[in-house]
């Protein structure tokens, strides 16, 4: 027995853990003393030296977005959220923490209760808090997973007391934020004539005046077969409804006693799409539909003085339906099918022709595609309080499992489409395209590459914390093992290593902390796959006065250290250190044709035995403050990054004879910026208000990317920001043949009205040497993102309005929603019609002075569509993404219903956007973002 105790003592010396530090009294729920989850620990905000921003369930009260990530936009300083497409059915937003400090990786990893997971599996009722880990002191513990930032979610747990029941139901109606304008048949036909004339250099009509008249003012009484031969179809209206419904309901029960506590939650969410499908039955209905069923059981149990137990079990079943045509394909069809292409339906069946498929038929006649996914996450943590060995020592062992299984199921049929035309006797005849199948074919498409993933994590942690007079010591160390398997990649990725922290506190004023991890991943060479990531940090509380002071609280923080990011997707070979041999698909041919084609085995990309991860050195300085009687709270951080080891191509001589892969860590990027949040709260009588804002700025600079030498300095990407593309500088349009012969373009055949570019190297022609990185160019990821929010409360009423914005951002405006007649096919966009260059004096057309879009053409016109300053436009925007008005009934009323509280609310998600481009600056030419009107109630018992 004595030996055992000695073993424990030895272990205890080895494992040092964190103590709970006694704190000055603060208000309950005050952000200054909130508990912040950090890796394998919970820290008190007051003693934290790291830069971590947290948003709690309370602050998310008015969030009703279907995807939680959408709701985070503008709420957390340092986090940039870009919504990509509408409807949770299609895609989740893209997240960046502190911009992009690598040109390869960028996305922060998400941890839920210590387990690597994703945000899309969570429901609102799950969430206790969401934190963004920003500096080295917080990230170094994550080894090669930390450098792109971490989003850490803590789920709700039971608290001692009587069972608390909470019910929330809501219903909503979704609508477009902005719908592209649709060009009618007459306008299309006139523009087609203009494009043809532009190509021919003389006015040429494809559509005759009679046809144009018919499109403009014809009807069935004046033109034979008018509806069939002169269709004017607004495809948006034919395919899309004005509104689509959505419903969700969540219920939870929590409570417990001193031995066992529980939190149990169940939720349902159903979001429909905008497609017009009359059938209610799922059998034939092909509308978008995203159904989610979630549950969660979080238990905490105390077994004895020594042992305690914590388990989480949560899961999601998700059923997603879409028409049997890809959403991006369908949206391309909607945008690019001309109004006069064909009628929606003919007496034979759906309209159509050889060039376009019928968007209406694609939705209604092809069946549907179903993705069914199941996620189970569970964790089991056994704790031991080892005070009997060493006071303040605690051990925890966890095992956690994440499992995703996806099945894809398709119910398909094909349809025939018919093109009406006049036969020689002036009767209607039809060309038929495609084949008609009446019965559905049902296929289970099976599992593909990432349809099944499994993650098994094990963690052992020892913590120690003790206070000695004014001084406190806190330390912890943990071992972590994570095995991640994706079907199709039969080699599991194993992440393994140790991490720990040592903290010292003095007088509850001064805090110092050292964090480290020694982590590795199995993707690197065995002898070189472990890395050490240390970080040191300090915090000093300058002032901590009572609530009546003007400076209530002031703290400064400093941190500096390393974190890593394993980039396993940039290089061609997953195991970059191993030399691979491949077989070529095409190879040498011997003998007479076709008799003897031989495939060849060849050495694949050159391996890099030293392949490694990106290392981020980040320094951070921050302040946290409360001023003016706690009315103003403020936090702000500045940071400077230098990221090394970014994978780039090798730099060996060509005669070496192996193709170089992007597997050499010579890339270096620096990145700096600042982020912060401020809020002002006060009350005037019964009226309470809060104004708050967040701000994030990050500017990157490529220091090295092994770039090949360029002839001209302006062509160097090194020194520019990450993600900025090379562009031609548009310089108006060619106005005469002389101008063209003085400055010919090698980018394509040009004529008057085509885009003229600046001849940057003055060699008398426009070619690839004239594209430049030098200019006020930004990438699509904004350098500045910010959020503004106002909360008001008066008696039972509450009101919130919030939004987020981007600045220093540019987007490519050439896409399906702005194009015109690509290669002679496709619709012409309203954007092109309004802004095109055109000069036909005899027709009274002259838009030369106002044009911002090149001449219309039926050709491919590569000169006009290259990346240029004509197409890259200011992508700044401000979007109000939430307005909520709620009313909480008086306790006397709610108690009559047997409820502790009852609240009704109305909310609008994404009501307004302010930007300076055509369409919505955040999504282009895809399923649009949704403006959603919601009403709901919260009921607590």
Partner 1 sequence: MKTYKNILRLCAVIICLASLNSCLSILEKPSSSDVTLDTIFSNRDYAESALYNIYYQLVPRGFPYTNGNYPENKSLQSQTQFSRSLLASITDECCNYRGATPGRYVNVAGFDAITASRNQEDSWAHRWPGIRAAWTFIKNIDKVPDEEIPDAEKTQMIAEAKALIALAYMDMLPRYAAMPIVDHPLGEGDATLLVQRSTLKETIDFILKLCEEAIPDLPDTYPSNMRGRVTKGVPLCIKSRTLLYAASPLFNSSASDMILDYDHPEFVCLEGYDKERWLKAAEAANDVLVWASTAGVSLITAADIAGGETDPKHNAYGYATSEKDNKEVILANKGYSSSNNGFGDGIFWTFSLRGMSVMLNIIKYFRKADASDQTWPTTLNEHRPFSEYTTKMNEMEPRFLQCVWPAGQAAPNFTKTGDYTKWPFGKIDDQMSASDMHGVGPMVKFCYNYSGELMKDWIVFRLAEFYLNYAEATAEYYGSADAKTPTGLYTAAQAVDVIRTRGGIRVLNAAEKADFHTQIVRERAVELFAEGHRWWDCKRWKIADDTFGGTLYTLRFVQNVAGSTATSYTEYYLAEHAEPRVWTKAMYFYPFPQEEVDKGYLVQNPGY
CB of 140 to partner 1, least distance (A): 19
Residue 580 or 689 having the CB closest to partner 1: 580
Residue 1 or 278 having the CB closest to partner 1: 1
Q: Which residues pair with 635 in a beta bridge?
A: 624, 677
Cα→Cα distances 581→119, 404, 525, 572, 657, Å: 39, 33, 18, 13, 14
The answer to whether the CB of 132 falls within 8 A of the CB of 184 is no
CB of 599 to partner 1, least distance (A): 6
The answer to whether the CB of 140 falls within 8 A of the CB of 535 is yes
Nearest to 293 by CA among 403, 373, 378: 373
Residue 654 or 776 having the CB closest to partner 1: 654
CB of 867 to partner 1, least distance (A): 16
CB of 480 to partner 1, least distance (A): 9
Number of C-beta neighbours around residue 532 at 10 A: 14
Residue 275 or 773 having the CB closest to partner 1: 773
CB of 486 to partner 1, least distance (A): 14
CB of 532 to partner 1, least distance (A): 14
Residue 278 or 711 having the CB closest to partner 1: 711
The separation between CA 842 and the C-alpha centre of its own chain, rounded to angstroms, equals 51
Residue 458 or 731 having the CB closest to partner 1: 458
Q: Distance from first CA to last CA of the chain, Å, rounded?
A: 51
Residue 330 or 766 having the CB closest to partner 1: 766
Query: Interhelix angle for 185-200 vs 209-217, to 10°?
Result: 160
Residue 642 or 765 having the CB closest to partner 1: 765
CB of 838 to partner 1, least distance (A): 21
**Rounded to an integer, what distance in angstroms lies between the CA atom of residue 91 and that of residue 103?**
22
**Rounded to an integer, what distance in angstroms lies between the CA atom of residue 644 and that of residue 669?**
7
The answer to whether the CB of 88 falls within 8 A of the CB of 67 is yes
Token pair listed for 430? 């039809």
**Rounded to an integer, what distance in angstroms lies between the CA atom of residue 51 and that of residue 645?**
24
Residue 156 or 756 having the CB closest to partner 1: 756
CB of 643 to partner 1, least distance (A): 24
The DSSP call for residue 135 is: S
CB of 386 to partner 1, least distance (A): 8
Q: Which secondary structure element, helix H or strand E, spans residue 330, and what is its range?
A: helix 327-336
The dihedral region occupied by 931, where left means phi > 0, alpha psi between -120 and 50, and beta the remainder, is beta
Residue 298 or 384 having the CB closest to partner 1: 384
Residue 643 or 726 having the CB closest to partner 1: 726
For residue 510, give every residue at least 6 positions away whose Cβ sits within 8 Å of its Cβ, in sequence order, or none.
Answer: 538, 539, 540, 541
Question: Hey, which bits of 303-451 come out as E strands?
Answer: 307-323, 350-351, 367-385, 393-412, 417-422, 428-433, 441-446
CB of 731 to partner 1, least distance (A): 20
Angle at the Cα of 257 from the Cα atoms of 308 and 941, rounded to 5 degrees: 130
Residue 8 or 923 having the CB closest to partner 1: 8
Give the three-class secondary structure for 528: helix
The answer to whether the CB of 689 falls within 8 A of the CB of 682 is yes
**Rounded to an integer, what distance in angstroms lies between the CA atom of residue 889 and that of residue 902?**
6
Residue 304 or 435 having the CB closest to partner 1: 304
Residue 586 or 684 having the CB closest to partner 1: 586
The answer to whether the CB of 364 falls within 8 A of the CB of 313 is no
Radius of gyration of the chain (CA): 32
Give the three-class secondary structure for 189: helix
Token pair listed for 470? 């004014």
Residue 382 or 554 having the CB closest to partner 1: 382
CB of 711 to partner 1, least distance (A): 4
Residue 654 or 842 having the CB closest to partner 1: 654
**Rounded to an integer, what distance in angstroms lies between the CA atom of residue 231 and that of residue 587?**
52
CB of 491 to partner 1, least distance (A): 6
Nearest to 150 by CA among 564, 606, 655, 577: 564
The DSSP call for residue 708 is: P
Give the three-class secondary structure for 258: coil
Angle at the Cα of 152 from the Cα atoms of 497 and 148, rounded to 5 degrees: 65
Handedness of CA 826, 827, 833, 835 (dihedral sign): negative
CB of 461 to partner 1, least distance (A): 10
**Rounded to an integer, what distance in angstroms lies between the CA atom of residue 929 and that of residue 932?**
9
CB of 570 to partner 1, least distance (A): 18
The DSSP call for residue 581 is: E
CB of 400 to partner 1, least distance (A): 13
CB of 924 to partner 1, least distance (A): 28
The answer to whether the CB of 930 falls within 8 A of the CB of 84 is no
């Amino acid at each position: 027995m004595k030996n055992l105790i000695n073993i424990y003592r030895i272990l205890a010396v080895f494992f040092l853990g964190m103590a709970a530090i006694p704190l000055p009294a603060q208000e309950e729920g005050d952000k200054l003393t909130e508990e912040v989850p950090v890796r394998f620990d919970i820290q008190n905000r007051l003693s934290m030296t790291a830069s971590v921003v947290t948003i709690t369930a309370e602050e998310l009260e008015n969030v009703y977005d279907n995807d939680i990530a959408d709701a985070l936009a503008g709420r957390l300083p340092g986090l940039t959220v870009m919504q990509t497409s509408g409807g949770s059915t299609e895609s989740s937003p893209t997240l960046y923490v502190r911009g992009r400090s690598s040109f390869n990786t960028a996305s922060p990893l998400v941890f839920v209760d210590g387990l690597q997971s994703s945000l899309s599996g969570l429901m609102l009722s799950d969430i206790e808090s969401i934190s963004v880990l920003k500096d080295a002191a917080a990230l170094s513990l994550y080894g090669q997973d930390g450098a792109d930032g971490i989003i850490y979610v803590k789920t709700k747990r039971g608290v001692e007391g009587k069972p608390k029941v909470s019910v929330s139901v809501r219903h909503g109606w979704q609508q477009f934020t902005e719908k592209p304008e649709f060009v009618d048949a007459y306008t299309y036909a006139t523009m087609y004539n203009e494009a043809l004339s532009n190509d021919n250099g003389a006015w040429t009509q494809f559509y005759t005046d009679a046809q144009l008249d018919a499109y403009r003012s014809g009807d069935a009484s004046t033109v034979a077969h008018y509806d069939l031969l002169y269709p004017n179809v607004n495809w948006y209206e034919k395919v899309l409804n004005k509104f689509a419904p959505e419903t969700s309901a969540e219920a939870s029960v929590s409570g417990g006693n001193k031995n066992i506590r529980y939190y149990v939650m169940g939720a349902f969410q159903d979001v429909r799409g905008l497609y017009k499908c009359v059938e209610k039955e799922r059998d034939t209905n092909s509308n978008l539909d995203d159904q989610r069923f979630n549950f969660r059981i979080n238990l905490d149990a105390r077994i004895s003085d020594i042992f305690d137990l914590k388990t989480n079990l949560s899961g999601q079943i998700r059923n997603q339906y879409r028409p049997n045509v890809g959403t991006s394909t369908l949206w391309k069809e909607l945008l690019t099918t001309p109004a006069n292409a064909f009628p929606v339906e003919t007496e034979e069946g759906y309209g159509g022709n050889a060039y376009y498929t019928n968007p209406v038929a694609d939705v209604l006649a092809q069946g549907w595609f179903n993705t069914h996914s199941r996620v189970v996450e569970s964790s089991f943590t056994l704790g031991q309080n080892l005070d009997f060995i060493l006071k303040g020592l605690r051990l925890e062992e966890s095992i956690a499992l994440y499992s995703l299984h996806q099945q894809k199921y398709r119910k398909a049929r094909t349809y025939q489409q018919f093109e009406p035309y006049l036969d020689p006797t002036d009767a209607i005849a039809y060309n038929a395209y495609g084949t008609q199948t009446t019965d559905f074919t049902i296929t289970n498409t099976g599992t593909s590459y990432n349809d099944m993933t499994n993650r098994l994590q094990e963690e052992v942690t020892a913590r120690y914390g003790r206070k000695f007079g004014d001084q406190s010591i806190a330390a912890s160390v943990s071992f972590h093992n994570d095995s991640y398997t994706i079907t199709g990649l039969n080699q599991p990725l194993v992440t393994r290593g140790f991490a720990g922290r040592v903290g010292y506190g003095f007088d509850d004023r001064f805090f110092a902390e050292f964090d480290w991890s020694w982590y590795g991943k199995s993707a690197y060479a065995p002898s070189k796959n472990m890395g050490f990531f240390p970080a040191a940090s300090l915090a000093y509380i300058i002032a901590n006065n009572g609530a009546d002071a003007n400076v209530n609280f002031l703290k400064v923080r400093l941190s500096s250290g390393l974190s890593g990011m394993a980039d396993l997707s940039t290089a061609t070979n997953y195991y970059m250190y191993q030399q691979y041999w491949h077989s070529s698909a095409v190879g040498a041919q011997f003998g007479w044709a076709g008799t003897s084609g031989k495939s060849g085995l060849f050495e694949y990309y050159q391996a890099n035995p030293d392949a490694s991860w990106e290392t981020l050195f980040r320094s951070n300085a921050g302040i946290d403050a409360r001023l003016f009687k706690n009315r103003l709270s403020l936090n702000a951080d500045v940071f400077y990054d230098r990221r090394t080891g970014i994978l780039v191509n090798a730099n060996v001589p060509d005669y070496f004879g192996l193709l170089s892969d992007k597997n050499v860590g010579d890339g270096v990027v620096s990145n700096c910026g600042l982020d912060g949040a401020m809020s002002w709260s006060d009350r005037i009588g019964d009226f309470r208000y809060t104004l708050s804002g967040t701000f994030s700025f990050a500017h990157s600079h490529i220091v090295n990317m092994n770039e090949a030498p360029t002839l001209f300095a302006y062509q160097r990407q090194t020194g520019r920001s990450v993600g900025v593309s090379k562009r031609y500088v548009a310089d108006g349009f060619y106005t005469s043949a002389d101008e063209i012969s003085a400055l010919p373009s090698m980018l394509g055949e040009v004529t008057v009205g085509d885009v003229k570019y600046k001849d940057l190297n003055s060699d008398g022609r426009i070619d690839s040497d004239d594209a430049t990185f030098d200019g006020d160019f930004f990438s699509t990821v904004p350098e500045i993102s910010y959020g503004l929010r106002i909360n008001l409360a008066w008696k039972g009423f509450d009101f919130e309005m919030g939004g987020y914005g981007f600045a220093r951002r540019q987007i490519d405006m050439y896409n399906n929603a702005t194009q015109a007649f690509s290669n002679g096919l496709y619709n012409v966009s309203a954007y092109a019609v309004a802004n095109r260059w055109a000069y036909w004096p005899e027709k009274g057309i002259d838009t030369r002075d106002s044009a911002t879009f090149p001449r219309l053409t039926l050709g491919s016109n590569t000169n006009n569509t290259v990346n240029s300053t004509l197409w890259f436009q200011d992508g700044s925007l401000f979007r109000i993404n939430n307005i909520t008005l709620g009313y909480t009934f008086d306790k006397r009323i709610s108690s009559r219903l047997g409820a502790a509280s009852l609240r009704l609310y109305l909310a609008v998600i994404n009501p307004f956007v302010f930007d300076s481009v055509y369409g919505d600056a955040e999504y282009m030419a895809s399923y649009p973002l949704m403006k959603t009107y919601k009403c709901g109630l919260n009921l607590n018992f």
